[in-house]
Amino acid sequence: MKFLDQAKVFIRSGDGGGGAVSFLREKFVEFGGPNGGNGGRGGDVVLECVDGLNTLIDYRYQQHFKANTGTHGMGKNRTGADGQDTVLRVPVGTQVFEDDNETLIADMTEVGQRVVLLSGGNGGFGNAHFKTSANQAPRRANPGQEGIEKWVWLRLKLIADAGLVGQPNAGKSTFLAAVSAAKPKIADYPFTTLHPNLGVVSIGERDFVLADIPGLIEGASEGVGIGDRFLGHIERCGVLIHLIDGTQADVKRAYESIRFELAAYDERLGEKPEIVVLNKVDSIPADELKEKVKILKQVSKQNVLQVSAVTGKGTDMVLYGVIETLDAEKAAKAELERRKIEPNWAP
């Protein structure tokens, strides 16, 4: 299945059915009167968040979705049937924007969540509705209300517990393949990864979802390369694993360039918890490795983990670090929520 994280679709709700003009014609009923029924309501366009999807690829091949028209009213005061709704099924993490691609309509974050994007038109009144003491035999009925139509953007932001970020060829795909059952494309040239990959990581008795984001280069936040398109996927990650290629000469610049692009794209990305990891340590002489770790500690102001994604050395330390960070974030959120309920509460 191909990965597609953005699609533009046309949606239209159903027209309401027209009311009926009808009169009772029955033996032994001298003054039957009007009995035209109302029209049925047009179908809605509904967005539903479902399990088992992780791409918007279905909306590449079909871009137009129209709900059904309500059935017209009939004689004997019969109301027409409502039009059938059209349901757009999307994966968890999908956002819906107006045609300007900026105004947010809905954010689908839970399986089973449903949002009515467009409501169907009301059905028209039949002539029985217009009967009054002054007008015993009305000969008019309302047409059904027309549906609404517009273009909307669907944009998927993957929901992962942790995200792998770094420059092209930093070893992110190799790391993901080493710690999970995911099988991303791995090669010795830049931009091997052209779309995000997800893997479920098991460490100890815990599981979490890890996302591999395509490599970032300088200017990514301004549209250079391909990374800017996928930066949105790490907005929902609880922690970032910043992978740095230890074989390159200037590890300081490699670290700072990624941090700059994250903050330039969204300040919240620059504030996310981060685990700094120096990769490919099996290919670095001991003296050089020691110096590069020292440089990264100074620039990042935190501990630097050393791993070799190829051999698996040190990967467990990174995974345990992710679990520890996620637990700390969860505890902090729980305390914040409790303080809102009980302002004087103290742990």
Mark the binding-site residues, compressed into ranges. 173, 191-195, 212-215, 279-282, 308-310
Annotated binding site for GTP: 191-195, 212-215, 279-282, 308-310
CB 198 within 8 A of CB 209: yes
Which one-letter amino acid corresponds to residue 203? I
* Of the candidates 321, 167, 304, the residue with the CA atom closest to the CA atom of residue 244: 167
CA distance 231 to 217: 12
CB neighbour list of residue 254: distance below 8 Å, 6 or more residues apart? 166, 167, 170, 244, 245, 248
Kindly report the number of other CB atoms within 10 A of residue 347's CB atom.
Answer: 6
Kindly report the number of other CB atoms within 10 A of residue 214's CB atom.
Answer: 24
Annotated binding site for Mg(2+): 173, 193
Q: Report angle CA 207, 211, 212 to the nearest 5 degrees.
A: 135
CA distance 345 to 125: 58
3-state SS string for 214-259: CCCCCCHHHCCCCHHHHHHHHCCCCEEEEEEECCCCCHHHHHHHHH
